[in-house]
Chain A
Amino acid sequence: NAGVTQTPKFRVLKTGQSMTLLCAQDMNHEYMYWYRQDPGMGLRLIHYSVGEGTTAKGEVPDGYNVSRLKKQNFLLGLESAAPSQTSVYFCASSSAGTGFYEQYFGPGTRLTVT
């Protein structure tokens, strides 16, 4: 059981470039989430998904897009990267079946936009 994995672990982009972050989970969880973590700001929810083919905006969705074509994968896209998107990105997943929503987190992707 790998749990939640994220690809890549590190990335440096120039302003205006695009990229996709991949999150994969092997726990058959219905819910998946993308967060960004910045110093002193805690975790802020970017987008989330409650099932295959569905996505919803979180607290800070601007500049990001997501897709959930398969239940086990959740992609986060940056179409035109900006320095303000320099951050550590975490993916998480949780089960909707048991009535409680403990989240399982990936190891993070450290993104620097220059």
Chain B
Amino acid sequence: AQSVTQLDSQVPVFEEAPVELRCNYSSSVSVYLFWYVQYPNQGLQLLLKYLSGSTLVESINGFEAEFNKSQTSFHLRKPSVHISDTAEYFCAVSDRSGGSYIPTFGRGTSLIVHP
């Protein structure tokens, strides 16, 4: 069974600083990879996804993530964060080999952006 590890439960950062949220998964078989964002008192929204092709994927609001198959990682980065990026971020992995594609979620990383 797939497991997903988000190494940091909380990441405080100052506005305009760069940030990296780390995600590692257990199995190196074919996978789909996702980052979701949850703003306070809301449901989760898809931020970006890796399905195939280029290992670097980008979101419309400046986040990017790189699929690294050898390290089974999918870290999320942003070169300059804004106060409005304060939210909970979840990494999720769907195992393509099992047929069911039910995703496994990490425990989440709380990004706190200080002015």
CA of A102 to CA of B6, assembled, Å: 19
Check if A105 is an interface residue, CB within 8 A of chain B: yes
A-chain residues with CB within 8 Å of residue B36 when the two chains form the complex: 103, 105
How far, in angstroms, from A100 to B108 measured CA to CA in the complex? 22
Tell me if B51 is interfacial: C-beta within 8 Å of chain A: yes
B102 partner residues in chain A, CB cutoff 8 A: 33, 45, 48, 58, 101
Give the interface SS of chain B, mostly helix, strand, loop or mixed.
loop
In the complex, the number of residue pairs spanning A and B with C-beta atoms less than 8 Å apart equals: 51
| Size range of the chain A interface in the assembly | 20 to 34
B45 / chain A contacts, CB cutoff of 8 Å? 105
Residues in B neighbouring A90, C-beta threshold 8 A = 43-44
Which A residues from 89 to 114 make CB contacts under 8 A with B? 90, 92, 96, 100-108
Closest to A45 in B: B102
Residue tally, chain B, CB below 8 Å to A: 24
Contact present for A107 and B43 (CB under 8 Å): yes
Q: A48-B102, A100-B51 are in contact. Are A42 and B43 (CB under 8 A)?
A: no
B70 to chain A, nearest CB (A): 23
* CB–CB A107/B42 < 8 A: yes
A101 touches B32 (CB 8 A): yes
Cβ–Cβ < 8 Å partners of A40 in chain B: 9, 107
Measured between alpha carbons, how far is A45 from B45 in the docked complex, in Å? 17
B90 to chain A, nearest CB (A): 7
* Chain B contacts with A in 12-49, Cβ cutoff 8 A: 32, 34, 36, 41-46, 49
